[in-house]
Chain A
Amino acid sequence: IAGITQAPTSQILAAGRRMTLRCTQDMRHNAMYWYRQDLGLGLRLIHYSNTAGTTGKGEVPDGYSVSRANTDDFPLTLASAVPSQTSVYFCASSDGQGAKVKNQPQHFGDGTRLSIL
């Protein structure tokens, strides 16, 4: 079944450690996104990639980095995790028009639940 795969499903991490969340899509969408979901705040965009080889900052980029070496993969890295990064992280993809975020509906993975202690 086509879609987005995120790994790991959940992780408990000590503060100060480095962590990479993986995201792979098989829909050949140009754009990919990373969101964090926190209670009462909805989804907030961390980073986006309009197409392979390009990335950009979203609403809450500090403490996170991304890369987009190819169309399918869009890993999110926390270089030195802090407790405020405890959240549920969602990867999404879409196509359509737009130089930053595309105007078509986004397809979401099932999320990574990350706890920083």
Chain B
Amino acid sequence: AQSVTQPDIHITVSEGASLELRCNYSYGATPYLFWYVQSPGQGLQLLLKYFSGDTLVQGIKGFEAEFKRSQSSFNLRKPSVHWSDAAEYFCAGYNNNDMRFGAGTRLTVKP
């Protein structure tokens, strides 16, 4: 079955530190991949997407993600985290008329 897995339920980083959120997918073919961010009381907002081509994708708010076919991964990164980045992050994959979301990773930013 198609699935997207986010292994980390909760991550805490210090402000200014680097960040990497993990996402693994299980699909028969390479899916379209997305990262969304959800602030409290709000809906999901798209950070970036990967369809094909360059495996390093730039998104909004200084985020980037790298598609690695050999590892079935699409990890989200940011070089220096800001306190406003505290939120819930969701990875999603699309293939064959089906969109699957990961369970989410909650990011806490320490001062």
- B103-A42 in contact (CB<8A): yes
Q: Which residues of B contact A4 (CB under 8 A)?
A: 43
The prevalent SS among residues of B at the interface is: strand
Most buried by B among A4, A44, A92, A101: A101
Is A34 part of the binding interface, using a Cβ–Cβ cutoff of 8 Å?
A: no
Chain A residues with CB under 8 A of B49: 105
Can you list 24 residue pairs at the A/B interface with Cβ under 8 Å?
A35-B101, A40-B9, A40-B103, A41-B103, A42-B90, A42-B104, A43-B44, A92-B43, A92-B44, A98-B97, A99-B97, A100-B97, A100-B98, A101-B94, A101-B98, A101-B99, A103-B32, A107-B46, A108-B44, A108-B45, A110-B41, A110-B43, A111-B42, A111-B43
Is A51 an interface position by the 8 A CB rule? no
A19 in the interface, Cβ–Cβ < 8 Å? no
Report the minimum CB–CB distance from A12 to chain B (whole Å).
17
- State whether A103 touches B94 (Cβ < 8 A): yes
Q: Which residues of B contact A42 (CB under 8 A)?
A: 90, 101-104
Residue B25 lies at the interface, judged by CB distance under 8 Å to chain A: no
Task: For B41, give the chain A residue with the smallest CB separation.
Answer: A110
The CA of A111 and the CA of B39, in the complex, are separated in Å by: 12
Complex: how many Å from CA A74 to CA B9?
A: 32
Contact surface of A with B, Cβ cutoff 8 Å? 4, 35, 40-45, 90, 92, 98-101, 103, 105-111
Within 8 Å of chain A (Cβ to Cβ): is B74? no
Q: Is the interface of A mostly helix, strand, loop or mixed?
A: loop
Query: Which 7 pairs from chain A and chain B are nearest by CB?
Result: A108-B43, A100-B97, A42-B103, A43-B101, A42-B101, A108-B44, A105-B46
The chain B residue with its CB closest to the CB of A91 is: B43
Interface residue? B67 (CB, 8 A):
no
Contact residues in B for A101 (Cβ distance below 8 Å): 94, 97-99
Nearest CB in chain B: distance from A22 CB, A = 15
Please give me the residue from chain A that is nearest to B97 by CB atom: A100
B87-111 to A contact mask, C-beta < 8 Å, 1/0: 0001000100111011110000000
